[in-house]
Structure 1
């Protein structure tokens, strides 16, 4: 349950103001069809985070628990710093309209998530918790918590959220996870 809750919270916070949330706003404004956009986000996130989670679990088989502890602790601290860097959105991510709303969203979100903060976080969380299903379910749920309201309520939300504050909170969470991992928290989990 801890893996699911941490994964959900960290990704939901990290996603506020992220380029994929901006993409959700743009797709919602362009197509005005929330259901296929939401389903496209869900499908793209499940595939992307499923791959990232599997990669995270595989990585743990390559190193001893002591080495993984240092890698994961350092990775979480690096994520804390990276989250503080604002994302740049590429308009090209939303220019696939000829394929329909669902497919456009699926492709755009999948590509936008490649190498994104939340994908990297999924790799680290899966490596830490050794619970692929809980981590992918949590990171996917976190993505949906952040992006579904963006699709449904669009500009009303965009004008009322201060992404800098939310990013700072997410950075603190990642930093605490990193320090706790370095200090041996989760040692009973094999990390």
Structure 2
């Protein structure tokens, strides 16, 4: 197997497995209960492609990790804010609801920013850095990005099904709880790194 193909296949497999049960897969499920599937998938893909490009650049070029403690702290605070925003709930008029369903830009941005912040310093980023030190950067970047998006797409499908079968109040409280859990998780990670 050639260098590019080996990097692609190995990176896909490692990152797909590492992503199963990871907090970002749970985030994908949460966002899928609030937004349409395509904007969530696009946001995840954009964030993942950028984070993994940084990862392979660090792993392949520098061989060093980024300082992630402060980034994790900012992400933790953002997730707590998302949790309160979700609990507060939003009421839309019929006209606003129609516009929200048509407009995908805000959903894409919200998902992309959240995933970008959550993935900085995450195990999949560190795994991608490690893979890039051993394999070519292009195959590692493509394989790791596709592996993560594929694993998160599974969560999106599950999230969409839950959103159709659960009452809106249960979805809102569940999503808020998950955002609080993500915030706490990132806070613990950031404090562990900073202290």
Cross-structure match for 1:103 = 109
**Counterpart in 1 of 2:141?**
136
CA 1:140–1:36: 2 relative to 1, 3 Å: same
Structure 1 residues 10 and 51: alpha-carbon distance in aligned structure 2, compared to 1, 3 A threshold: same
Q: State the structure with more CA Rg.
A: 2
Q: Which runs of 5+ in 2 are unaligned?
A: 65-74, 91-104, 163-195
- Preserved contact between residue 37 and residue 160 of structure 2 (Cα < 8 Å): no
Match among 3, 8, 20 for residue 4 of structure 1 = 8
Structure 1: tracts of 5 or more residues without a match? 63-88, 158-191
- Higher normalized helix content (fraction of residues): 2
2:125 to 110, 119, 124: 119
Verify the 8 A CA contact 1:23 1:93 in the aligned structure 2. Answer: no
SS at match of 1:100: helix
Q: Output the TM-score relative to the length of structure 2.
A: 0.59
| Distance change in 2, residues 1:49/1:5 (3 Å) | same
**Contact 2:25 2:152 (8 Å CA) reproduced:** yes
- Please, what TM-score do these two structures have when normalized by structure 1? 0.61
- Say whether residues 1:56 and 2:62 are aligned partners: no
Change (3 A) 1:104 1:94: farther
The offset of 1:93, in angstroms, is: 6.8
What value does the CA root-mean-square deviation take over the aligned residues?
2.7
Matches within 5 A, 1:157-172: none
Q: 1:183 aligns to what? A: none
Q: What is the CA–CA distance in structure 1 between the aligned matches of 2:113 and 2:23, rounded to whole Å?
A: 14
Moved over 6 A (4+): 96-99
